[in-house]
Amino acid sequence: MKLFITGIPTGGKSYLSKRIEKDFGAKHIELDDLREDLIAHPRYGKYVSFYYNKDEKTYLENTSSEDKWKDLIKQSEGIWPALKEEIEKHNDKEELIIFESVNLLPHLIQRDFPDSKQMVLIGESLESTFDRNKKSPRWGDTEELQKLEADNFFNVERSKYKEEAEKYNLPFFETIDDALNYVINNLI
C-alpha cells in the first residue's frame, strides 16, 4: 500500500512519516531528498531551483497569492515525472510505503496513483508554522524572511492544499496527533 503525505512546509509531514515508520514498520521515502539530485539535471534543475533564483523578500512581498500557488503547481508538475519514476520503483512492494513531500499535490497523485491513500497536513497556527520554520528554515536565513515564509505557508498555501484535499475528498489535518490517530484507526 502507498500512503502519500503532503501539505505545507512545517506541517509535520516528516515527523508523521517517521513516526509511522518507527511505530508500524512502514518504509518512509522523503521525496524532497530526491530534489537535491535533480538540481543539476537539464530537465528538472530549473524547477528544483525555481525559488532560489529569486530575491525571496521581493517575491514573497510582491507576488499575489494566486501567482505563488501557480508557481508551486508549476514547480510540482515540473519535477513530477522524476518523483513518479521514484515512486514506481516501489510498485512491487507489499509493505506500507510512505511517500512524503510538499510537491505531492493531490491532483497529481489522484491522476497517476488513484488507488493509493493520501493525507494532507495544513498546520494549526501561524505561530507554530513560524516556530517550526525558525528551527528548520526552508529558504530564508534571517528571522524576517522566515516570518515571511511562514506567513506564505500558513496564509497562502494552507488554503490551497485544503481546497485540493476537499476537491478529491481527502483527509486533511491541522495537527500531527489527529493525523496519526487517523492512520491508526483507518490505515493500519
* Domains (range + CATH), the chain: 2-186 (3.40.50.300)
Flag whether the pTM goes above 0.75.
yes
Question: In the prediction, which pLDDT does 21 show?
Answer: 95
Instruction: Say how many CA atoms lie within 13 Å of 134 toward its Cβ.
Output: 9
d(CA 19, CA 82) in angstroms, rounded, equals 26
d(CA 60, CA 58) in angstroms, rounded, equals 6
Question: In the prediction, which pLDDT does 94 show?
Answer: 85
Which residue, among 6, 3, 4, 2, has the nearest Cα to 121 in the 3D structure?
Answer: 6
C-alpha 107: how far from chain center: 13
pLDDT along the chain (188 residues), means of 10: 95 95 94 89 93 91 97 96 96 91 95 95 97 88 94 96 96 96 91
Q: Are 8 and 121 in contact (CB under 8 A)?
A: yes
Question: In the prediction, which pLDDT does 187 show?
Answer: 85
d(CA 62, CA 65) in angstroms, rounded, equals 9
